[in-house]
Amino acid sequence: MTDLDGLLAFAARSRLAGGGFGYLGADGRVLPDRPQETWIVARMTHVFGLAHLLGRPGAHDLAAHGVGALLDGPLHDAGHGGWRGSTDDDAKAAYAHAFVVLAGATATTACIPGGRALLDEALEVWQRRFRDDDAGLAVEEWDRAWTTCADYRGANANMHGVEAMLAAADAVDDAATARRLRGQALRATERVVHGWARERDWRLPEHFTADWEPLPDYNRERPADPFRPYGVTVGHQFEWARLALHLRAVVDDPPGWLLPDAVGLFDAAASRGWAADGHDGFPYTLGWDGRPVVGARMHWVLCEAVAAAAVLAEVTGEPRYRELARSWREHGERRFADPRTGSWHHELTPDGQVATGTWAGQPDAYHLAQMLLLDGRPVRGSVAAALR
């Protein structure tokens, strides 16, 4: 079985001497031709913050290394504020900023030096630049100087925004601020899950116009895009289901739809996704007719399926969820686990061969670490709060 300490040892190899973390290849070495990317640095900082909460040796220094890079490294835009997408990309994306908030929140909870300063700055940027109070959701992307906002809107960035707001609420000291952040997370989840997904028989649209009109044909010509794929993204349905349960655990007077909607979204992903093409596992995406579009198996999709099943088992006590978590985890250990690195292959063909159609190498440890850490733990707003 995949071991957390082995995974952390693998992840530690992403440390860059000049600050931050790099993108790991299949051999566990940083790919030299990749720029430094904000989402990688922030997610690794979050993982090492979680590891420090568990008392893992060396994790404190690695988390502090990441916090320092996000506060003062080349990705941080001292002139205009916020964080560039990478050292090669000046755009300011909600997806990357959500992970910076998450990194700051986990570092704050774990008492990592600079964590609170990072959280405060990242939250301020999120609220001022990305949060659209009228829509109850986040806009997608700005240029470097914050002068032009892209017309595209996306559910993926908002999903990670919900995760980030829940983690930030668990990390801040002020109860009123925590309630406000959880309220924002609830409103976004209500629009996406209780609105668009429920209205479409649990087929979650991902892509929207600036007025939040769904774009069902978006990226039909680029269906395997790593962040904006065409169609129904199975793994995101599992993630949204799990986040609805984290919300239910912490909001005041949680609305009654949170649990049944989580179950509906989870069951749809599980029943429509598993072996949809006749091969065990979950395809990356399905069409609106339920047929596979991109059949590649992504490690993160299986990780999120296992994590959602484990959280549902904890919340409901129903044995079927525990059994699904167990059987899917065993499938992952047989197919995805890489004993050479201690991590999982990030992409496989439907019949289990290592593939690189969407993802090269084994970039980071975020999904797999959270899958390992959520199993059997109490459900809180964030993983960090459950460990604390």
Reduced to 3 states, what is the DSSP secondary structure of residue 349? coil
| Helix residue ranges, H only, 80-206 | 94-109, 115-125, 155-171, 175-189, 198-199
Catalytic choice (236, 246, 299, 346) = 236
Distance CA 216, CA 89 (A): 27
Distance CA 53, CA 296 (A): 34
**Residue carrying structure tokens 């404190």:** 60
Question: What one-letter code names the amino acid at 103?
Answer: A
Task: With beta carbons less than 8 A apart as the criterion, state whether 110 and 52 touch.
Answer: yes
Task: With beta carbons less than 8 A apart as the criterion, state whether 100 and 122 touch.
Answer: yes
Distance CA 297, CA 356 (A): 11
Task: With beta carbons less than 8 A apart as the criterion, state whether 370 and 307 touch.
Answer: yes
39 to each of 21, 99, 252, how far by Cα in Å?
10, 6, 31
Task: With beta carbons less than 8 A apart as the criterion, state whether 237 and 269 touch.
Answer: yes
Exposed/middle/buried for residue 380 (C-beta within 10 Å: 0-12, 13-18, 19+): middle
Distance CA 280, CA 272 (A): 12
Whether residue 236 lies in the annotated active site: yes
Enumerate the active-site residues: 236, 367
